[in-house]
Structure 1
């Protein structure tokens, strides 16, 4: 028997066989989610059944926990989840932060300077007076930001501002810049060449605009998965993804599978290519290959 402690809880895991204990991690958008941003009923049925039998399954997403929770309704996740591209690991049930990565003051000052120089007004993710907020200047909204906000109506994190004077308040951990590629490319080049940051630039799924996201250096899915792997005493990682921000996750996985609709860069480094996100590719692979462990929660 293996005991894994997580703060006030202890999880007891009995192996059914001698297979190495495996952590299964999937991306959400474009991977587990279909083009309508929800999980197909078939995938829910298969994955939930496997989780109930003891499969160690979670997700790693660029979304916040609030946003991820809304699109994964009905999904049984019994171990922590990875959000904000790895900046946070959360207990999905309670919202408790298990691990986090924040910018230093010097790093935030540098981001502020660069974005102002390029006249870019970002979405700023921070804790303001210990409360998680997403701040933006309303006069700087573009079509991409308005769509982002439309999909998050009622989100208590939203903090609209009339001016930029308090945009960079609080303890910051993530910046999202939405716009045209030509506008964002110089910012991406600056921060991708600075070893204090992780920076991605990619086109939004099913949309024309691009997103440039700036994070602390250790805020990657790969780093967060390695933390979770250690916490859960796993020996192997198998991952699933579709986009370039999944590349670090693939590189630290023992096996990695790109869905059929994934970008070519990801397919090139994948162990294999499986069915697409509209074809329940992840669930069908898990049904055939996932290793099961008996898992019981002790209160």
Structure 2
């Protein structure tokens, strides 16, 4: 029986310093070399996930942007993708124009991953976030936010404003509405309906021809993958709702509990 192990990143595999520890990296590397099938699932992009997991260089698939993509850790090859349909892009363009709101839009433009934003129309919270991202994806523009092959839209603003957007859009798209655990800003992430951690895990399960899935997480956005897993483990610092759905509760994320579980339970 082939088992796929999948861990959330922030608050689960990463410690409080937003890093995977040397012990976690070495443990996963060793077990992957022995044949363990492992992935992590995160809302982060490849560009922000890689520095956080520096030292974890094993050839593993990564579930990024909450399931929009599955990418090879070493080659950066896209193994599975979930883009918005053209009519969905048109609907989102019209919706945000009517609301006079200008989100951050992630897309492939001329085969290059970019995030587009309009500097003088972005919220302060969005500009604060953008200021922390200094890579080739940055694409300040004057108009036409929704260009290229769009896969992810992020809105960072007041809770009240985003609540309205969430209720308008949640029945048509995958919408994740939450407070960032680091900045404490409110985020609304909008993705294609199929772009969830759970759906990406099922896609990866089929891609790798696995029989069983074991997952680890800490937050509400991990609920969907807990529901489709054969076994699910919440870290000690996880929210109450996730612990109630879990097969079991393991140690705190600062105690390298996912790596400890894998070392003790993977039989090869």
Q: Name the TM-score, length of structure 1 as normaliser.
A: 0.85
> For 1:144-293, what aligned pairs fall within 5 Å after superposition?
144-153=125-134, 155-161=135-141, 163=142, 165-194=143-172, 197-292=173-268
Find the aligned partners of 2:60 and 2:184 in 1 and give their Cα distance.
35
Relative to structure 1, the CA distance from residue 122 to residue 291 in structure 2 (aligned partners, 3 Å threshold; closer, same or farther) is farther
Deviations 1:35-86 (A, max 9, x none): 2211122222222222222211111111111221121111143232111111
Which range moves more in the overlay, 25-34 or 139-148?
139-148
Q: Structure 2 regions of 5+ residues with no counterpart? A: none
Q: Report if aligned partners of 2:236, 2:251 keep a CA contact under 8 Å in 1.
A: yes
Q: Report if aligned partners of 1:26, 1:239 keep a CA contact under 8 Å in 2.
A: yes
Deviations 1:8-27 (A, max 9, x none): xxxxxxxxxxxx21100011
Relative to structure 1, the CA distance from residue 141 to residue 35 in structure 2 (aligned partners, 3 Å threshold; closer, same or farther) is farther
Q: Structure 1 regions of 5+ residues with no counterpart? A: 1-19, 293-299
Deviations 1:236-261 (A, max 9, x none): 00011111221111111100111111
Find the aligned partners of 2:157 and 2:267 in 1 and give their Cα distance.
43
Q: Does 1:31 align with 2:9?
A: no
Q: Does 1:126 align with 2:104?
A: no
Aligned residue for 1:213, secondary structure, equals strand
Find the aligned partners of 2:202 and 2:195 in 1 and give their Cα distance.
12
C-alpha displacement of 1:144 = 3.0
C-alpha displacement of 1:143 = 4.3
Find the aligned partners of 2:39 and 2:246 in 1 and give their Cα distance.
19
Structure with larger RCO (C-alpha < 8 A, sep 6+)? 1
Aligned-pair Cα RMSD in Å: 1.5
C-alpha displacement of 1:200 = 0.8
Find the aligned partners of 1:45 and 1:79 in 2 and give their Cα distance.
14
> Highest CA radius of gyration, 1 or 2?
1
Matched pairs, number: 268
Find the aligned partners of 1:188 and 1:104 in 2 and give their Cα distance.
19
Q: Name the TM-score, length of structure 2 as normaliser.
A: 0.95
Relative to structure 1, the CA distance from residue 34 to residue 119 in structure 2 (aligned partners, 3 Å threshold; closer, same or farther) is farther
Find the aligned partners of 1:53 and 1:143 in 2 and give their Cα distance.
47
